[in-house]
A and B are shown apart, each in its own frame.
Chain A
């Protein structure tokens, strides 16, 4: 059973779809899923809808949220995609996301709230946790993006600059890329890249395009024993950044609360290789383990 909610929060209109558990009424636990980047709240190929259906089947009330400006919710939007991502990666959408979580908390008095989604949604959930940890009791991070895409898209300029670098600087850069698995030889070889990452100093692991505030938010959630499910494209860029951050920032035992699933032969939005089904399976298992 689905319901539409259109709350006005801080003068801005949100549009949400609420999936109620089969037995009716709201549940003690709830799951909130934000927009996957700039796409509407159902997600690519209905990923968010399928996750919500799985969660509702487990007796968890689930909310899929269009933040102001996205999907059916009115509001301003940047003209260009890169500006949208700049806002997302610097946590500028987190306040709007936190308002939605506050609203959901007040609905039916859910006692535990999990939040997350794919890519930009995972980023928003992490930034929300960093700002208001009391709002979130668990994180569902699908392909979280622990790096700035702005720097990545400006790589053309970086390469130009690299041609003017001294030979020693170029050599240093190549070593960094090798140790952090950014290079094409180490990236697809997990055992080799893990062995090399073990040699890399912390400043190298957290260097380059790493989104440090987001990385620290993740590390804090791990330290605070927040249950987390991380689902990443196996050997993908986001999986490797996650490895780098965990290696650099995790204290002993911090990873104990993190469940991880790697999906092979897929893409960033999970629209290949039957990844959506696998992702739903992993989420169902994780939610049932959260009792």
Chain B
């Protein structure tokens, strides 16, 4: 059945002189719950954007009101990326949640992709949200940064450069970053705060005693058409390369992922 179109309202949330951008995807009919969507980091946010918009529309079409937003210094929100850290972005998620959703009248669910999963899990740990859905989160922010540095190294190695400019290794980047106070990765200037705060931001798996439902989906990349995972599986196949990476598809086939996620959110 085709999903009915729902209203989408982009706006800014004014907080302490800052403008935080968010888009409200209104539910078709009365909202069953509100979902706060925490986006991924850096280039992954840019490349996954279309998919996250599609997912928000899919959920809105199934009766959920979805709030997407941009952390300060990224996307449409104002601020300088270089002067932001993980604590700031965690605070932004909290501010958007409180500023856009009336918690007293609505059930709130948290959703995050990759880095957004780390943020969502931290909010969940603080008692926010009645449920948590995470797609392919790294174990912590430090691992994510190291992974991105490895990609920078690989990209750099493929480019013709003089011997003096050739990268020496990932550690050389880290040394440069800490020495100079900033490092350019995927066009963004990473400030020192990112390195300092990266060990604090870990994926928090809810304890067994926590009665609130949580679903941490692992996304296995597979060439060709993805297959459906058995019911209850925490692994879903998606087309290769992943939608947060450069690929040949703008609208990859993510039906299984969307359906599996919807099943969890409906439950």
Task: Kindly state whether residue A207 has any CB partner on chain B within 8 Å.
Answer: no
Q: Mark A1-20, 1 if CB is under 8 A from B, else 0.
A: 01010100000000101000
Least distance between A21 CB and chain B CB atoms (Å): 15
User: With A and B bound together, what is the CA distance between A274 and B186 in angstroms?
Assistant: 10
Say yes or no: is A71 at the interface (Cβ < 8 Å to chain B).
yes
What distance in Å separates the Cβ of A213 from its nearest Cβ neighbour in chain B?
24
Is A57's beta carbon under 8 Å from chain B? no
Q: Is the CB of A188 within 8 A of B160?
A: yes
CB–CB A271/B187 < 8 A: yes
B4 interface residue per 8 A CB criterion: no
With contact pairs A46-B74, A72-B23, A272-B187 given, residues A77 and B8 touching in the complex (Cβ less than 8 Å) = no
Whole-angstrom CA separation of A267 from B74 in the bound complex: 21
Cβ of A254 within 8 Å of any chain B Cβ, yes or no, is no
Could you say which residues of chain B place their CB within 8 Å of the CB of A78? 250-251
Closest Cβ of chain B to A52, distance in Å, is: 11
Which of B45-53, B87-95, B128-136, B198-206 has 4 or more CB atoms under 8 Å from chain A?
B45-53
Chain A, 1-53, CB within 8 A of any chain B CB: 2, 4, 6, 15, 17, 38-42, 44-47, 49
A272 to B159, CA, bound (A): 11
Asked whether A259 is an interface residue with its Cβ less than 8 Å from the other chain, the reply is no
Q: Does B150 contact A (CB under 8 A)?
A: no
Q: In the complex, are the beta carbons of B10 and A15 less than 8 A apart?
A: yes
Contact of B12 among A4, A39, A44 (CB under 8 A): A4
The interface of chain A, by Cβ under 8 A from chain B, is 2, 4, 6, 15, 17, 38-42, 44-47, 49, 70-72, 74, 77-82, 84, 188, 265, 267, 269-276
B29-61 toward A: CB 8 Å interface, digit per residue (1/0)?
Answer: 000000000000011001101100100010000
The residues of B that contact A71 with a CB separation of less than 8 Å are 49, 53
Contact yes or no, A45 B187, CB < 8 A: yes
Q: How far is the CA of A72 from the CA of B81 in the complex (A)?
A: 21
Report chain B residues within 8 Å CB of A41: 76
Report the separation of the CA atoms of residues A267 and B53 in the bound assembly, to the nearest whole angstrom. Answer: 28
Any A CB within 8 A of the CB of B247: yes
Q: In the complex, what distance in Å separates the CA atom of A72 from the CA atom of B156?
A: 32
Note all chain A residues with C-beta closer than 8 A to B43. 44-45, 271
Note all chain B residues with C-beta closer than 8 A to A49. 75-76
Q: Is the CB of A276 within 8 A of B187?
A: yes
Q: Which residue of B lies closest to A66 (CB)?
A: B10
- Known: A2-B19, A45-B187. Is A77-B75 also a contact (CB below 8 A)? no
> Does A80 contact B5, Cβ atoms closer than 8 Å?
no
For the complex of A and B, 4 pairs with smallest distance between CB atoms: A45-B187, A271-B187, A79-B251, A40-B49
Nearest-CB residue, chain A, relative to B186:
A271
Chain B 238-267 per-residue mask, 1 if CB under 8 angstroms from chain A, else 0: 000000000111110000000000000000
Which residues of B sit under 8 angstroms from A84, Cβ to Cβ?
Answer: 250
Q: Can you list 26 A-B pairs with a CB-CB distance of less than 8 A?
A: A2-B19, A2-B78, A4-B21, A15-B10, A39-B49, A40-B46, A40-B75, A42-B74, A44-B43, A44-B187, A45-B42, A45-B43, A46-B81, A47-B187, A49-B75, A71-B49, A74-B5, A79-B251, A80-B248, A80-B250, A82-B248, A271-B184, A272-B156, A272-B159, A272-B184, A273-B184
Which chain B residues have a beta carbon within 8 Å of chain A's beta carbons?
5, 8, 10-12, 19, 21, 23, 42-43, 46-47, 49-50, 53, 57, 74-76, 78, 81, 155-156, 159-161, 165, 184, 186-188, 247-251
Q: Which residues of B contact A47 (CB under 8 A)?
A: 187
Closest A residue by C-beta to B70: A42
A39 to B43, CA, bound (A): 10
Q: How far is the CA of A81 from the CA of B10 in the complex (A)?
A: 26
What's the Cα separation between A15 and B76 when bound, in Å? 12
In chain A, what residue has the closest Cβ to B152? Answer: A272
Residues of A close to B156: CB separation below 8 A: 272
Select from chain A the residue with minimum beta-carbon distance to B184: A274
Residue among B5, B57, B156, B188 facing the most chain A CB atoms (10 A cut-off)? B188
| A77–B53 CA distance with the chains assembled, in angstroms | 13
On chain A, the residues within 8 Å of B11 by CB distance are 4
Give min CB distance, B14 to chain A, whole Å. Answer: 11
Contacts of B248 in A (CB 8 A): 80-82
Contact B249 A80 (CB under 8 A): yes
With known contacts A40-B75, A79-B249, A81-B250, A72–B8 Cβ distance under 8 A: yes
- A77 with B250: CB separation less than 8 A: yes
Contact of A270 among B46, B74, B187 (CB under 8 A): B187
Determine the distance from Cα of A71 to Cα of B53 in the docked complex, in whole angstroms: 8
A272 proximity list for chain B (CB < 8 A): 155-156, 159, 184, 187
Shortest Cβ distance from B185 into A: residue: A271
CA distance A40 to B77 in the complex (A): 13
| Chain B residues, Cβ within 8 Å of A275 | 187
A77 with B251: CB separation less than 8 A:
yes
Complex Cα–Cα for A214 and B184 (A) = 33
A188–B43 Cα gap in the complex (Å)? 28
| Contact yes or no, A39 B247, CB < 8 A | no
Nearest Cβ in chain A — how far from B176, in angstroms?
13
Residues of B within 8 A of A45 (CB): 42-43, 46, 186-188
